[in-house]
């Protein structure tokens, strides 16, 4: 978002698992930079979490089959 408010405009979106650099976290909002495209903006801090394990797979095509386990 452009500002740390729910009614602020949305410029782009993060995808689940995207890595970000957090500059500041205050009053329920984090000011971040997305590593994928360099976008800088605000996200609710409730959607962020630390990566607790290394990735095991990489999807490198626009679509693929997904199998459990």
pTM of the model: 0.69
CATH topology of domain 1-49: SH3 type barrels. (2.30.30)
Neighbours of 56 (CB within 10 A): 5
Tokens of 64: 């693929």
- Of all residues in the chain, the percent with pLDDT exceeding 90 is 35
Q: Residue 23 — pLDDT band, cuts 50, 70, 90?
A: very high
Query: Across all residues in the chain, what is the average pLDDT?
Result: 87
Q: d(Cα 31, Cα 26) in Å, to the nearest integer? A: 9
Cα 45 off chain centre by: 10
Neighbours of 43 (CB within 10 A): 19
Cα 37 off chain centre by: 11
Encode pLDDT of 41-66 as tens digits: 999 999 888 877 787 888 788 887 88
């Amino acid at each position: 978002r452009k500002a740390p408010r729910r009614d602020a405009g949305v410029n782009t979106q993060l995808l689940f698992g995207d890595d970000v650099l957090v500059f500041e976290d205050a009053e329920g909002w984090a000011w971040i930079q997305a590593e994928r495209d360099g976008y800088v903006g605000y996200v609710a801090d409730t959607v962020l979490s630390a990566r607790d394990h290394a990735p095991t797979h990489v999807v490198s095509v626009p679509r693929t089959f997904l199998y459990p386990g």
